Amino acid sequence: MKMTCSGRKSIRLKNYDYSSNGSYFITILTKQRAPILGKYFEECFIESEVGRIVNECWIQIPNHFESIMIDTYIIMPNHIHGILSINKESNNSGHIYNTYSKPIPRSVCTVVQAFKASVTREAKKKRLANLVWHKNYYEHVIRDENELTKCREYITNNPLKWHLDRNNKKSTNFVKNGSIY
């Protein structure tokens, strides 16, 4: 098991360069899965003020990282799913991702860190929340067009399954300590 310098288990692919060209499926959870980003009312999602900040910061990512493009994304009550694509004209970084060193500039990690920091900073300014995010995030390297299509469909259809989502504390499938309640 690979550990990060903070003692947490690393969920990243060993020796994968997360600054390389490609698409990445990202999921970022709120702290303790708190539904602070919005709520569903009669099958419509209503963003909270924090949710509006999340939306604004997400769509601003390409303005801060010139090689990053956003694709399909969805904001849910306690998480965001999105696809980020890195497209650098020359991909000669030669870097290998290392969980023991500082994040590589223009990598998925630095983009997610900057996004989370921006949301938290804006939420604090407006006195909405001090801690918005779970410490880590999940990503999946999208390997081909077929997988990209499946990730887009998953994101698009995610609201339809909210009542079953394991991230929904009111779900009939809510998992706690390995047991389904």
pLDDT digits (tens, 9 = 90+) for 9-42: 556 667 777 888 999 999 999 999 899 999 988 7
Which of 81, 89, 84, 80 minimizes the C-alpha distance to 62?
84
pLDDT value of residue 9: 55
The chain-wide mean pLDDT, for the chain, equals 80
pLDDT digits (tens, 9 = 90+) for 59-107: 999 999 989 999 999 999 999 999 999 988 744 443 333 343 455 667 8
Tell which CATH architecture fits domain 22-93+107-161. 2-Layer Sandwich (3.30)
What's the pTM? Answer: 0.78
Residue with tokens 């900073």: 121
Q: Which two tokens stand for residue 63?
A: 């303005």
Q: What contacts 20, CB < 8 A, 6 or more positions away?
A: 86, 91, 93
